Structure 1
């Protein structure tokens, strides 16, 4: 049986994360598909090395760049759009898929995997498209947050008349979104499609506590789950147009990364899942629930019966058994 696994934010420019990726063996995943939802590295050479290794572990790999991939630090690329298209050419050369592809999971039960390119919309760019939610009690220093956010130092954007990066990337999805698919659709993006996914649900908080307990840590939630109280991540989380495209596709599952906090819930018929490797300090604090169970990518298709929630319920149940 072929399966579809997914992971994001593997950050292989960190040695501890490289060890994780190298521990994923072809003996386990050789018949399976991997969805990799961005944030591997800002280094083109290391990205090539990581993607190549994953193509040797999995039968096929789907990928979209995250924000780290579009950092321009070497001086070789003129801007982040240029680097994005260079990465797509690299993927074509390696056989890594950045376009929709049909995946045979069970005999006669194919699914369509649809990569969606994305970026985030800040409230200054478009107040209707941003996922920004003002904190009810904390005074925000926008200038300080912009200085802290490394994309503002490492991304280079050419002038876009009547547009902004998130809109540019969503427009690249138009052909894929306009296509008609007669099989279940699993879409994925690096960035987030909804503001109501930013904060954890009660069951997602409980999953963090269970993760910490299984690791022998204090069975309680770290304050703000490790995030600075004064930093409002929603400014840089994603864009609403992405969810419009997910709905146009009729996705049964949408997988995303970016926030380094795992999610699993159903909203209006779509199951939203994020599963990040993240940084060692986040794993050591048990913030990335599910990592102790999976040890790497999470199986998202097919789903075990106990892993299929009814509409409106959070989707955290017993994880499917790994065969």
Structure 2
């Protein structure tokens, strides 16, 4: 029994949809989908219909793309209402979400708990000399502006930073209730550490990539592996003896050179050891 991860499916692209349909069955295995499945419920429907037929269990966390308010969808929900709509849609397909009880990994090995999280970002992944209020202007100096600024609404919170703070607080309360004898697989769309935002072509996009409030969570909550996406730069990284898996698929031109989509699956468990 294995645990796999794949993020940033972006199934609005036909090439990605066909690739997902080409995945071989893994009837004994679980898969983590770490966000950015697509932008509409139709995209989500396609992904869950495809993946639940191939894997024993699917675990999802939202990316920023799922949270966009698409005006052609009715009702065109915003913010928290949009997120709750996605949660209910996932549950209707038997897909686990950040709002469900954290599942214990049933495979071989020590006591492990999978922790799907929805934390957002708060513009804190920036140099110390840049104030939060100036962060977007700082990015725009290099002609960088995330689509979230127009399409990811924080309602009922005033700002996305406020929503992020609330999500961090809610998640911390749950993490602190985990038994002390278990290790964790932490799962979030956005990286947990600023140092892992490796974007050489667009470094100032980092402000839309996470929060410094999670920098020590891999140690604080006994992580064996941390799974994320968002960057479209898949990699296995190590910090403090903890494995970090960036599991993005990405846009067709970013991954097609790698060949079959099966090569893009990241093996989380049993996975690699130092």
The TM-score range, normalised by the shorter chain, is: 0.7 to 0.9
Unaligned segments of structure 1, at least 5 residues: 123-129, 201-223, 310-323
TM-score by length of 2: 0.85
Residue 28 (structure 2) aligns with: 31
Residue 153 (structure 1) aligns with: 150
Matched residue SS, 1:276: coil
2:97 aligned with 1:82: no
Residue 308 (structure 1) aligns with: 273
Residue 121 (structure 2) aligns with: 120
Q: Separation in 1 of the partners of 2:189 and 2:29?
A: 21
2:181 aligned with 1:233: no
Residue 42 (structure 1) aligns with: 39
The correspondence for 1:168, drawn from 166, 169, 172, is 166
TM-score by length of 1: 0.73
Query: Once superposed, what is the RMSD of the aligned Cα atoms?
Result: 2.7
Residue 237 (structure 2) aligns with: 265
2:69 aligned with 1:101: no
Q: Give the greater-gyration-radius structure (CA).
A: 1
Change in CA separation of 1:141 and 1:266 when aligned onto 2, cut-off 3 Å: closer
Report the Cα offset of residue 235 of structure 1.
1.3
The correspondence for 1:131, drawn from 125, 133, 158, is 125
Change in CA separation of 1:110 and 1:54 when aligned onto 2, cut-off 3 Å: farther
Q: Separation in 1 of the partners of 2:128 and 2:9?
A: 29
Alignment: residue pair count:
261
Q: Separation in 2 of the partners of 1:285 and 1:93?
A: 35
In terms of mean alpha carbon deviation, does 181-190 or 273-282 score higher?
181-190
Residue 228 (structure 2) aligns with: 256
